[in-house]
Amino acid sequence: MGGTVKYVAVLLIGAAAGLLSGMFGIGGGILIVPMLMYGLKCSPHEAVGTSLAALLLPVGLLGAVQYYRNGYIRVPYAVLLAVGLFLGAYLGARLSISLQGTVLERMFGGLLVAAGLWIVFHK
């Protein structure tokens, strides 16, 4: 895959992740991380780090404005979640960096399977 094609692919991955984030509130990592690892051959650490860097500001801002305008944001919850995300992302990054790539990849796959099963079978 040529350089320009890779950048177009990354832009399309970002657009798809943004769409899913706006629709379902899911973190872009559910799409971005696997696409970077398997589609663009990034290491698990590169995929997670790149996804996290990309999600810093743009993902939530415009989507959150739309939800806020329609009264769908519980501001105190959002603030507390943001504090938790801030601290958790720091600790998670430190832990992730200490793991081997294959361990990180398997843990991420397990998380996706567990989340999918919970969504399908939870009542």
Taking only the tens place, the pLDDT of each residue in 45-66 is 888 888 877 876 666 677 788 8
What average pLDDT score do residues 61-76 get? Answer: 84
User: pTM here?
Assistant: 0.68
Identify whether the C-beta of residue 27 lies closer than 8 Å to the C-beta of residue 89: no
Identify whether the C-beta of residue 17 lies closer than 8 Å to the C-beta of residue 32: yes
Look at residues 23, 30, 22, 17 and name the one whose alpha carbon lies nearest to residue 115: 30
DSSP, res 38: I
Whole-angstrom distance, CA of residue 76 vs CA of residue 92:
24
- What are φ and ψ of residue 71, in 5° steps? 75, 25
Task: Please give the residue range of the domain that contains residue 11.
Answer: 3-121
The answer to whether residue 71 scores a pLDDT higher than 70 is yes
Give me the number of domains the chain comprises. Answer: 1
Greater confidence (1 vs 105) lies with 105
Look at residues 109, 103, 111 and name the one whose alpha carbon lies nearest to residue 45: 103
Taking all residues of the chain, what is their mean pLDDT, rounded to a whole number? 84
Q: What is the pLDDT of residues 5-41, one digit of tens each?
A: 999 998 988 888 877 776 666 766 788 888 888 899 9
The answer to whether residue 77 scores a pLDDT higher than 70 is yes
**Two tokens at 3?**
């350089």
